[in-house]
A = this chain, B = another copy of it.
């Protein structure tokens, strides 16, 4: 699984068989995850904030208000860490010790760069929109110049990243297989419920169809 994005800082040390540095392992996880957790350090204190992200080719975009202290800080080029995690299931073993989770995660290290060029800014916004609901961009009002100005977008190049994945059944200690308890995996997934129309919706329109939602929302 080793590839161009492995460095001593991203190498998966614990249970290295779960690690991957190949873009073929990394990109689908980044794409399927609806949100990311973005880490940065201010005066020695790490902060972790949830944020929408979107990958376009070899970069991951994050965005926020131009007034955001987080984005202003990151835009200065301080080191950042963007992590996404997909929780796939709870792994029930015969011993407490061997209980686990099935998951897919990506850790991406790097320095954020502010996106200043208008065209790239728009492309990033389209990517966020596609992430929220494919096709939405064409149905709603596009951003005004003022709204674009109020939005900061940062770019994180995918140059130093690792994926970590656990799948499959529990691994128990040999003597424990005689313990008469159910063991296996309870799959978990982020799924959509019944759409709730805006009370201010005056048009008789159907809610977006489920199959228009991204693949991750089954």
| Chain A interface residues toward B at CB < 8 A | 9, 13-14, 34-35, 37-41, 44-50, 52, 64-65, 67-69, 79-83, 85, 87, 89-90, 92-97, 99, 101, 103, 105, 107, 109, 125, 128-129, 132-133, 136-137, 139-144, 147, 151, 169-170, 172, 176-177, 179-203, 205-208, 213, 217
The listed residue (B50, B132, B181, B188) touching A90 by CB distance below 8 A is: B132
Whether the pair B185, A195 counts as a contact (CB closer than 8 A) is yes
Say yes or no: A87-B35 contact (C-beta < 8 A), given A46-B79, A182-B205, A208-B186: yes
The listed residue (B83, B96, B196, B208) touching A125 by CB distance below 8 A is: B96
A74 to chain B minimum Cβ distance, whole angstroms, is 10
A-B contacts besides A48-B83, A92-B208, 18 pairs, CB < 8 Å: A34-B87, A35-B85, A35-B101, A39-B46, A46-B46, A50-B85, A92-B132, A96-B140, A97-B143, A99-B136, A140-B181, A177-B202, A182-B206, A185-B195, A185-B198, A186-B192, A186-B193, A187-B193
The chain B residue sitting closest to A196, CB to CB, is B185
The chain B residue sitting closest to A217, CB to CB, is B188
